[in-house]
Structure 1
Amino acid sequence: MPVPNIRPFSTSDKIALTTLLEEMQDYYGVACPPRGAIESDLSALPAGAEIIVAETDKIIGFAAFSAIYPGPGLKSGLFMKELFVTAAARGNGVGKCLLQAVARVAVERGHKRVDWTADRDNPRLLSLYSALGALAQNEKVLFRLTGNALTLLAEMRNP
């Protein structure tokens, strides 16, 4: 497989990235919104959200990230929300290329770290991240507020 070109997502990538996002949802076994909704969301990314894509003759992977503050030492960093490579391209260094690109963005912008989550039950992925010098952060627990719990908390009145 040729070395992929890594570049920022552009609106002309919407259809290709939508297909990849659908594959990602299937990979994780979660419901996927209709294509039109995904394309619409890609046209109106939230402020600060960034996506880079990996392409050869087509888009084969992406990373989505945002700047965060504060971090250790009151320094800024990047949080990589997602890194995904299509099944046909996995194991060919595409994920590493994407992560290197995110690291370059962090360094170029003066950020002091890149954080992300990973599935505990994917030893191949965990080995890749460790081999790149990333350290698992076992002292933290990921929490998620969604659905009805999110709505209820948002609507709660303070005493």
Structure 2
Amino acid sequence: MRVRDMEPADIPAVAALLREMQAYYGVPCPPDETTRADLSDLPAGVTILVAADPAPIGFAAVGTTYPGPGLRPGLFLKDLFVSRPERGRGAGRRLLQAVAALAVERGSGRVDWTADGANAPLLAHYEATGAAAHRERVFFRLSGAALTRLAAGPPDAPA
């Protein structure tokens, strides 16, 4: 198993992994051609790493954040996913290790991510890597009608 940057030839396999991830979370997935087009034209600052054996069996999607500690850039791990039949072989840990190496290589002071607080084995897995849960932070999300409403409202309206 090797962890490396996603290559154009990986796009169909990564699109399939994204569909599997969406099904795992019970959320809809856009059409395959949309996902493949998006993977072909990632936004600036986004990196997708794949665990391949030899085809991709998992991925980590990270984006650059600023500012981080010491006003240096950081990385945000948006998603880390390994196909169900491939779990338990170390792909997740290797992907997380590659994200950490990418952060060090880029001079980032930290990698942040969120995790399902009800998934005790997942939390234990992350803590076993040396990651510390920061329970004093609250994760917020603005989406759907609330996102549209806030975007359309006058900028000086009280919250």
Q: TM-score, normalised by structure 1?
A: 0.94
Superposed CA deviations along residues 47-85 of structure 1, whole A, max 9, x for unmatched, are 111100000032100000011111233232110000000
Structure 1 distance, partners of 2:37, 2:107, is 32
- In the alignment, is residue 130 of structure 1 matched against residue 123 of structure 2? no
The one of 84, 100, 116 aligned to 2:113: 116
Aligned to 1:97: 94
Q: Which runs of 5+ in 1 are unaligned?
A: none
1:17 matches 2:18: no
Q: Any unmatched runs of 5+ in structure 2?
A: none
Q: Equivalent pairs: percent with the same residue?
A: 54
2:47/2:61 contact within 8 Å kept: yes
Q: Who is 1:26 aligned against?
A: 23
Q: CA RMSD in A?
A: 1.0
Match of 2:50 in 1: 53
Residues of 1 paired with 2:142 and 2:73: CA distance? 24
**Secondary structure at the counterpart of residue 13 of structure 2:** helix
Alignment: residue pair count: 156
Moved over 3 A (4+): none
TM-score by length of 2: 0.94
Question: How many Å separate the matches in 2 of 1:127 and 1:99?
Answer: 14
Out of 37, 45, 69, the residue aligned to residue 72 of structure 1 is 69
